[in-house]
Amino acid sequence: MAESKKKFIFVTGGVVSSLGKGVAAASIGVLLKARGMRVTMLKFDPYINIDPGTMSPYQHGEVYVTDDGAETDLDLGHYERFLDVNMSQKNNATTGQIYNTVITRERRGDYLGKTVQVIPHITNEIKRRIYAVVRDGEKDYDVAIVEVGGTIGDIESLPFLEAIRQFCLEVGPENSCNIHLTLVPYIKAAGELKTKPTQHSVMKLREIGIQANALLCRCEYRLNKELREKIGLFCNVPSRSVIEARDVKSIYEIPLVFEKEGLGEFLSNHLRLEAGEPDLVEWQNLVQRLGKPSKTVVIGICGKYVNLHDSYKSIIEAFKHAGVANDAKVELRWIDSEEIESKQSADILAGLSGLLICPGFGSRGIEGKIMAAQYVREKKIPFLGICLGMQCAVIEFARNVCGLKGANSAEFNDEAEHKVIDLMETQVDVSQMGGTMRLGAYKCNIDPNSNTYQAYGEEVISERHRHRYEFNNEYIERLTSRGLKIVGVNPDTGLVEIVEHRDHPWFVGVQFHPELKSRILHAHPLFREFVRAALEHASSAENGHVSKETQKNKKGAISS
């Protein structure tokens, strides 16, 4: 597709937040990719932070890390999982980044003494980033889908919307499309869906100068012909472009729902795409397998943000992918690591067929994670530890198997007698918090005699990192002599990346974040094999003795 025919789709949201713009945008990408289009994505976040790296999970949810080390919005995870492509720092921009760029240029004198203003300087930088995402070096894209964070009416998103208004004017109506995701609430007392919030949201968008070309209407019940015509009339949109986005059981059904509603055909016609017939057979088969698994397995997720599942969004989705790969439903039991500290591990962890200890920062709940690692090691329950989860498993092994009673991480006790986890040398002189960790993709050499190699089938892998602390290599000999296996090492630095246990059927701890590279059509190897090991453990338990306590705990599990 020629440069002059690059297409741009803008996705905005109205009425309320948390309607699922990221999933909607990613689903649109699936429809276009199924038609042979080369698709990329861009997320604009209106907050002034440079990135979410220093924000609490309770404020922002998961921080998603790309191969090139960008700390980004969790919606980039949806983009990668749905489209099966790798995003980069170009695919996420914040108000903080944009103002920082403009102010830096002003300090250099790039604006030749002119007064620097929101219009045109900030809006021009926003537009530059939209153009840049389709001109990404060696990659050549046909369509860019641009999602604007926040809700129409927010003050902080106005510069982005003004830039989009200008952009659409510049490229022309046949090369741009505005899709507005809105809410059509059901009022139980009246017994009907109400369209007024959508009307007001679209009216606010039009006041800014943007006319929606299509509406995605989130609703609990079907939109009948009368409601579609009413919405279309008052929002100045053809009724055939009013798309029902009804609640579904799985987010992976959404592309098929949109296709059935005619969204793919609408976009092809509106943008005059040189597109083929959609091929969604693989996606249809996936959704079918997702909805009808033949087996069920209960796996625990141990962390300290378990009341906010978005903190572990990529982990949850990776388990769904691994479930599909194993024809199984993975039921997740959320375990607060602080609760383990005040109770017996057996009371909380009994009945699990596998345990994952989550990544994180800070000392809160750490002793509970260490106790959980001890429990599954001794009970031979399949285990996967990610980043801090791996570090807790190493601390536990040092204390309880190697007899290093003072073993700890320098992150939690810098005066510990045995700092088996220590600050990386490259982090010693770091004073700034944002963007200074070991971030992005690094290589790892894998020992062929390991469960990890059996999962990957490769001796050299590349995985994404986000951490400051590492396995202390001074303790390698003492720990490996007692049964800890170092099965993954960075070839350039010698840093330990993966540990296993010699006397355990499936116990893997990794310093990196495998969940970030799992895709719905391609489950991550470690998650796939972890779930398989959990299924085998569950099967052996069922064929043997299963206690009443185990049965009780299984009933208390929560579906992923």
Q: Would you call 513 a catalytic residue per the annotation?
A: yes
pLDDT tens readout for residues 7-18: 999 999 999 988
CA distance 373 to 337: 11
Q: Which of 493, 488, 514 is nearest to 426 (CA)?
A: 493
Q: Of these residues, 387, 392, 402, 444, which one is catalytic? A: 387
Segments making up each domain of the chain, as ranges: 3-286, 293-559
Q: Above pLDDT 70, what percent of the chain?
A: 93
Amino acid found at 483: G
| Residue with the larger pLDDT of the pair 53 and 107 | 107
Q: Of these residues, 501, 513, 524, 537, which one is catalytic? A: 513
Please calculate the CA angle 468-66-281 and round it to the nearest 5 degrees.
Answer: 140
CA distance 127 to 158: 14
CA distance 496 to 490: 7
Alpha helices in 174-297 (DSSP H): 196-208, 225-235, 254-260, 263-270, 281-291
Whether the CB-CB separation of 299 and 323 falls below 8 Å is answered with: no
Helix (H, G, I), strand (E, B) or coil at 440: strand
Residue 407, CA distances (Å) to 66, 323, 359, 393 in order: 33, 36, 19, 11
* Four-residue CA torsion sign, 231, 234, 240, 243: negative
| pLDDT, position 311 | 85
H/E run at residue 180:
strand 176-183
How far from each other are the two terminal CA atoms of the chain, in whole angstroms?
A: 40
Give the residue carrying structure tokens 């597709």: 1
pLDDT tens readout for residues 330-352: 999 999 988 888 777 777 898 99
Whether the CB-CB separation of 408 and 419 falls below 8 Å is answered with: yes
Please calculate the CA angle 65-67-71 and round it to the nearest 5 degrees.
Answer: 25
Task: Give the Cβ contact number of residue 258 at 10 Å.
Answer: 22
In angstroms, how far apart are the furthest CA atoms of the chain? Answer: 80
Pairing between β-strand 558-559 and β-strand 328-336 as defined by DSSP bridges: antiparallel
Enumerate the β-bridge partners of residue 419.
Answer: 408
Joined tokens for residue 104: 């830096």
Q: Above pLDDT 90, what percent of the chain?
A: 76
> b/e string for 360-374 if b means 16 or more Cβ within 10 A?
beeeebbbbbbbbbb
Q: What percent of the chain is helix, strand and coil (3-state, nearest 5)?
A: 45, 20, 35
pLDDT tens readout for residues 207-254: 999 999 999 999 999 999 999 999 999 999 999 999 999 989 999 999
3-286 and 293-559 share one fold: yes
CA distance 295 to 145: 37
Whether the ω angle into residue 255 lies within 30 degrees of 0, i.e. cis, is no
Torsion of CA 22, 335, 407, 388, to 10 degrees: -10
Q: Which of 531, 525, 536, 532 is nearest to 498 (CA)?
A: 525
451 pLDDT exceeds 90?
A: yes
φ and ψ at 526, to 5 degrees? -70, -40
Number of H helices, E strands in the chain: 20, 24
276 pLDDT exceeds 90?
A: no
As a whole number, mean pLDDT of residues 422-443 equals 69
Distance of CA 79 to the CA centre of its chain: 9
CA distance 368 to 373: 9
Whether the CB-CB separation of 201 and 14 falls below 8 Å is answered with: yes
Q: Which of 527, 537, 525, 506 is nearest to 383 (CA)?
A: 506
Give the residue carrying structure tokens 């300087």: 121
| pLDDT, position 549 | 41
| pLDDT, position 244 | 95
CA atoms within 13 A on the CB side of 400: 14
CA distance 381 to 41: 40
CA distance 308 to 38: 34
Tell me the average pLDDT of the chain.
Answer: 90
DSSP label at residue 121: I
Structurally, at CATH architecture level, domain 293-559 sits in 3-Layer(aba) Sandwich (3.40)
Q: Would you call 522 a catalytic residue per the annotation?
A: no
DSSP label at residue 552: H
Distance of CA 512 to the CA centre of its chain: 15
What CATH topology corresponds to 3-286? Answer: Rossmann fold (3.40.50)
Enumerate the β-bridge partners of residue 245.
Answer: 218
CA distance 20 to 182: 10
pLDDT tens readout for residues 132-165: 998 866 678 999 999 999 999 999 999 999 999 9
pLDDT tens readout for residues 472-486: 999 999 999 999 999
| pLDDT, position 545 | 47
pLDDT tens readout for residues 350-378: 899 999 999 987 778 899 999 999 999 99
pTM over 0.95: no
Q: Of these residues, 302, 515, 529, 537, which one is catalytic? A: 515
